[in-house]
């Protein structure tokens, strides 16, 4: 890339995209750059650096929404929310360290553009479910906005759902508005020790199907548990299945007791209190339990499968590839890390996942690998045609993050 454009205002973003459209110069769009390694590597003429679009523009704690510049860091937003005992309920992941960068550099625009969500997704939904509205510039060099500050005043096409998860290929967001919710008064985590992967899937299904309002359910095989900085998790020398319970103090205590009784059945059960509980779920959310910062070069896949199929898929892939795994979302999300290969084992991975009615995303690999094999679930037929038509509608000259999600689109 020969040039970097660094606008400081939405108007300057519009000017930059107009110039790019007129000159047919392709743009690699970035915020703070923490997720540049996620998705196919972008080969563009210029870099559009949005790191100047920061700051919380409007925060109404009583109205439960916030508006912020697209490149505002999640750390800044979370600090402001903590002052009012509030949170982003979708628990956006910070993948900076996983992708070889620094932590706390992720932005709200990046979290929405990648539709990232943590362990609470099984209860609260994904980023797109909390995304109320935005201002943006399309690849046509036109400003547009969608949504508002509350769900019920959203009329017309629900473009927020379309933009979320588009990885900056349809428009350049300059400002976003999203829901915030009260933070729980108390958080506890019930740990069940020593379960096999199959037994853990059954335990998580039982807990999530109960009346105890579990907001996180994850299973860490022994190797993953050893990677935790929580001594009660790392020091047991066996697998750990974790269940998060949140809410008013007396309710949490009652539900933890009930959950322990429900899941005990001869297994060893322990409980984590606030600080250790928060640390464990941050490690799970940010995928810190497999190989830290990835200096060993191992490749990372994110597999989404029906929860009861998760253990079977993981067993098949670990036997063939020697991979390490852990499970989130009640077993429906599998994080898998494996030794680097020229094709990231994508045919083996996708064949196993497809047989289980799931899909797979290559989250971490070298740029050459990510451009050689499909990073996201391959599209065919009508779905690929629809994707191309949507891209053409927003960005007819293909100047925004070309090929970031699909080759040639």
Domain-embedded: residue 291: no
pLDDT value of residue 156: 65
Lowest mean pLDDT among 89-103, 144-158, 306-320: 144-158
pLDDT at 222 over 90: yes
pLDDT value of residue 304: 97
Work out the number of other CB atoms within 10 angstroms of the CB of residue 190. 27
Lookup result for tokens 């319970």: 245
Q: In which band, very low, low, confident or very high, does the pLDDT at 392 lie, cut at 50, 70 and 90?
A: very high
pLDDT at 90 over 70: yes
Query: Looking at the structure, do residues 27 and 43 belong to the same domain, yes or no?
Result: yes
Query: Looking at the structure, do residues 143 and 30 belong to the same domain, yes or no?
Result: yes
Query: Looking at the structure, do residues 253 and 339 belong to the same domain, yes or no?
Result: no
pLDDT value of residue 157: 73
Digit-coded pLDDT (tens) for 263-286: 987 667 888 888 999 999 999 999
Question: How many separate domains does the chain show?
Answer: 3
Reading the block at residue 194, the tokens are 């020593």
Q: Express as a percent the part of the chain with pLDDT over 70.
A: 96
Domain of residue 137 covers: 1-183+378-399
Query: Looking at the structure, do residues 34 and 179 belong to the same domain, yes or no?
Result: yes
Q: What is the mean pLDDT of the chain?
A: 93
CB 312 within 8 A of CB 197: no
Contacts of 125 (CB under 8 A, 6+ apart): 89, 90, 117
The pLDDT of 76-97, averaged and rounded, is: 96
Digit-coded pLDDT (tens) for 364-383: 999 999 999 999 999 888 99
Query: Looking at the structure, do residues 270 and 329 belong to the same domain, yes or no?
Result: no
* pTM of full prediction above 0.85: yes
- From 256, 285, 314, the end of a domain falls on 285
pLDDT value of residue 274: 83
Q: Express as a percent the part of the chain with pLDDT over 90.
A: 86
pLDDT value of residue 279: 96
- From 255, 285, 315, the end of a domain falls on 285
Q: In which band, very low, low, confident or very high, does the pLDDT at 409 lie, cut at 50, 70 and 90?
A: confident
Query: Looking at the structure, do residues 173 and 202 belong to the same domain, yes or no?
Result: no
Query: Looking at the structure, do residues 96 and 204 belong to the same domain, yes or no?
Result: no
Length of the chain: 409
CATH no. for residue 145?
3.30.465.10
Domain-embedded: residue 409: no
pLDDT value of residue 269: 82
Query: Looking at the structure, do residues 3 and 151 belong to the same domain, yes or no?
Result: yes
pLDDT value of residue 206: 96
pLDDT value of residue 103: 85
Domain-embedded: residue 71: yes
pLDDT at 226 over 90: yes
The pLDDT of 59-66, averaged and rounded, is: 96
Digit-coded pLDDT (tens) for 27-55: 999 999 999 999 999 999 999 999 999 99
pLDDT value of residue 356: 96
Q: In which band, very low, low, confident or very high, does the pLDDT at 151 lie, cut at 50, 70 and 90?
A: low
Domain-embedded: residue 222: yes
SS3 labels along the chain: CCEEECCCCHHHHHHHHHHHHHHCCCEEEECCCCCCCCCCCCCCCEEEECCCCCCEEEEECCCCEEEEECCCEHHHHHHHHHCCCEECCCCCCCCCCCCCCCCCCCEHHHHHHCCCCCCCHHHHCCHHHHEEEEEEEECCCCEEEEECCCHHHCCCCCHHHHHCCCCCCCEEEEEEEEECEECCCEEEEEEEECCCHHHHHHHHHHHHCCCCCEEEEEEECHHHHCCCCCHHHHCCCCCEEEEEEEECHHHHHHHHHHHHHHHCCCCEEEEECHHHHHHHHHHHHCCCCCCCCCCCCCEEEEEECCHHHHHHHHHHHHHHHCCEEEEEHHHCEEEEEECCCCCCCHHHHHHHHHHCCCEEEEEECCHHHHHHCCCCCCCCHHHHHHHHHHHHHHCCCCCECCCCCCCCC
pLDDT value of residue 270: 85
The pLDDT of 160-182, averaged and rounded, is: 96
Domain-embedded: residue 66: yes
Q: In which band, very low, low, confident or very high, does the pLDDT at 102 lie, cut at 50, 70 and 90?
A: confident
Query: Looking at the structure, do residues 48 and 176 belong to the same domain, yes or no?
Result: yes
pLDDT at 294 over 80: no
| Pairing verdict, β 56-60 and 65-69 | antiparallel
Lowest mean pLDDT among 22-36, 146-160, 214-228, 239-253: 146-160
């Amino acid at each position: 890339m020969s040039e970097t454009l660094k606008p400081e205002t939405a108007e300057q973003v519009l000017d930059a995209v107009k110039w790019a459209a007129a000159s047919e110069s392709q743009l690699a769009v970035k915020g703070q750059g923490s997720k540049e390694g996620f998705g196919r590597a972008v080969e563009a003429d210029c870099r559009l650096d949005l790191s100047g679009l920061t700051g919380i523009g409007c925060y109404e704690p009583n109205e439960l929404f916030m508006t912020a510049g697209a490149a505002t860091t999640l750390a800044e937003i979370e600090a402001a929310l903590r002052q009012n005992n509030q949170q982003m309920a979708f628990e956006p992941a910070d993948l900076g360290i996983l992708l070889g960068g620094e932590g706390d550099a992720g932005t709200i625009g990046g979290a929405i553009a990648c539709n990232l969500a943590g362990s609470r997704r099984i209860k609260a939904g994904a980023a797109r479910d909390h995304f109320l509205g935005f201002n943006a510039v399309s690849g046509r060099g036109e400003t547009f906005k969608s949504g508002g500050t509350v769900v019920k005043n959203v009329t017309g096409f629900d473009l927020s759902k379309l933009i979320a998860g588009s990885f900056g290929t349809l428009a350049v967001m300059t400002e976003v508005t999203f829901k915030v919710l009260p933070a729980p008064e108390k958080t506890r985590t019930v740990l069940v020790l020593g379960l096999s992967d199959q037994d853990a899937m059954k335990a998580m299904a039982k807990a999530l199907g109960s009346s105890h309002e579990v907001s996180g359910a994850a299973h860490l095989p022994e190797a993953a548990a050893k990677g935790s900085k929580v001594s009660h998790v790392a020091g047991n020398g066996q697998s750990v299945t974790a269940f998060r319970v949140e809410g008013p103090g007396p309710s949490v205590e009652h539900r933890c007791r009930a959950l322990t009784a429900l899941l005990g059945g001869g297994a060893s059960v322990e409980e984590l209190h606030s600080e250790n509980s928060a640390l464990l779920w941050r490690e799970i959310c940010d995928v810190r339990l497999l190989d830290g910062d990835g200096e060993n070069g191992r490749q990372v896949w994110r597999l989404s499968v029906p929860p009861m199929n998760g253990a079977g898929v993981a067993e098949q892939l670990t036997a063939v590839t020697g991979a390490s795994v852990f499970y989130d979302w009640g077993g429906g999300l599998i994080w898998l890390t494996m030794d680097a290969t020229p094709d990231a084992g994508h045919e083996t991975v996708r064949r196993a996942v497809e047989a289980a009615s799931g899909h797979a995303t290559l989250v971490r690999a070298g740029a050459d690998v990510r451009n050689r094999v499909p990073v996201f679930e391959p599209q065919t037929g009508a779905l690929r045609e629809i994707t191309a038509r949507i891209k053409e509608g927003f960005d007819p000259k293909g100047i925004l993050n070309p090929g970031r999600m699909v080759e040639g689109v």
